[in-house]
Structure 1
């Protein structure tokens, strides 16, 4: 996916993927991660999701990565927080209490720059990427987070009838992308709501735990 595509979506406010409230599947299934006290959770391609404010309210530290600086400016404005902004290589780093967001190409983010995380919450990253990029993304995310456990939300529908994003990512593809490094367990499979209803899409939640 060309970065210009996403920059244009944000600048034109074409952000139908942005949810106006916390994702109910996160609220329902976060306990599956069994997070330790003061856990740090990584949200790839986070946008300005309301999930960040909710996670912070639960005492969870959040790290995010996002391509669009406009999205991150809006995120901190929505939180009512003024971030400290520094440059770390090719990435711009926005920081406030409990929250760090790296702005730029997620593939430029390294484990040393990100720092340790206890888990990954991927609601809109994998499904935002076309097929040709998903293998690279999954490998990078696994390396980046040292195979941290994941709560992964995907959509499954007939991709031949509709274009993405969000793209269809089946359970079979999740297993192909992550099965070598993770044990994968389905937590939920329900009809998608909103604009994806017309695609008869299923919204699926996966719990990925690193193999010994």
Structure 2
């Protein structure tokens, strides 16, 4: 993972990828995962996403993983949360109520950490990685999640030669290739969104869709 790229984006305030509302597709499909209340939910490459606080508000313990301490500090400051912090072998762990933020690399999470995860929300991780890194990410994270763990995965699909990522295009055939041997893969929804994303149209895209998947570890 090119960690410096993302650290520089936060350092220089180049965070146009941050959304100022909770993702509607998360609100629509989360309950359908049927993750037991009180379970621990992993949010990789979390930034300062409002989705983290929303998932916690639904009765879950959230483990958000983020490289940038700036993003983490902004999250807790903007939500006016009093936090504690401790050093762990995986990085600095910040905690407030049901929310934990680990400042570190999601690909270096220990097996015992992932063994406690019962749900996952991946809106920004898979599509943030280059094709070379996506396979490693799936192997290091998803292949070590416990049986029965359910993920809500959001991807985007466009002609990769029309725009340089991130975010990168991850078409359905790649999702199937990465996950079908380990997970039950269900596509819950596909939406054409180019008309709602003028900044991507301005970058040359002629089509853009988003897909929502439910992944269940077998």
Q: TM-score range by the shorter chain?
A: over 0.9
TM-score using structure 1 length? 0.94
The size of the alignment, in residue pairs, is: 211
Deviates more, 1:198-207 or 1:40-49: 198-207
SS at match of 1:164: coil
Q: Given that residues 48 and 75 in structure 2 are in contact (C-alpha distance below 8 angstroms), is that contact kept between their aligned partners in structure 1?
A: yes
Deviates more, 1:52-61 or 1:189-198: 189-198
TM-score using structure 2 length? 0.92
Match of 1:209 among 191, 196, 216: 216
Q: Given that residues 91 and 102 in structure 1 are in contact (C-alpha distance below 8 angstroms), is that contact kept between their aligned partners in structure 2?
A: yes
* Map of 1:41 onto structure 2: 41
Q: Given that residues 110 and 144 in structure 1 are in contact (C-alpha distance below 8 angstroms), is that contact kept between their aligned partners in structure 2?
A: no
Shift of 1:115: 5.6
Shift of 1:61: 1.4
Deviates more, 1:107-116 or 1:5-14: 107-116
Distance (whole Å) between structure 1 residues aligned to residue 212 and residue 183 of structure 2: 15
Shift of 1:90: 4.4
SS at match of 1:160: helix
Shift of 1:161: 1.1
Shift of 1:144: 4.2
Report 1:30-69 matches (<5 A).
30-69=30-69
Distance (whole Å) between structure 2 residues aligned to residue 40 and residue 107 of structure 1: 18
Deviates more, 1:75-84 or 1:192-201: 192-201
* Map of 2:186 onto structure 1: 185
Name the Cα RMSD after superposition: 1.5
* Map of 1:149 onto structure 2: 150
Q: Please give the per-residue CA displacement for 1:70-110, whole angstroms capped at 9, x wherever unaligned.
A: 11111111111121111111411111110111111222211
**Where does the alignment leave 5 or more consecutive residues of structure 1 unmatched?**
none
Distance (whole Å) between structure 2 residues aligned to residue 103 and residue 17 of structure 1: 19
Distance 1:189 1:127, change over 3 A: same
Distance (whole Å) between structure 2 residues aligned to residue 165 and residue 11 of structure 1: 17
1:112 and 2:144 are equivalent in the alignment: no
**Where does the alignment leave 5 or more consecutive residues of structure 2 unmatched?**
none
Q: Given that residues 114 and 146 in structure 2 are in contact (C-alpha distance below 8 angstroms), is that contact kept between their aligned partners in structure 1?
A: no
* Map of 1:196 onto structure 2: 200
